[in-house]
Amino acid sequence: MKTRKNERNRSKKIFRKTRSKRQRGSGGTETLARNNNLIKASRFGHTKIAAMQLENGADVDARDIYGSDSTALIWASKNGHPETVAMLLEK
pLDDT at residue 64 in the model? 85
The pLDDT score that the predictor gives to residue 79 is 94
Among residues 34, 76, 77, the alpha carbon closest in space to that of 59 is found at 34
Statement: the pTM of the whole predicted model exceeds 0.85: no
What is the 3 state secondary structure string of 35-87? HHHHHHHHHCCCHHHHHHHHHCCCCCCCCCCCCCCCCHHHHHHHCCCHHHHHH
pLDDT in the model for residue 30 = 74
pLDDT computed for residue 45 by the predictor: 95
Split the chain (91 residues) into runs of 10 and give each run's mean pLDDT. 58 62 56 88 94 92 83 94 94 81
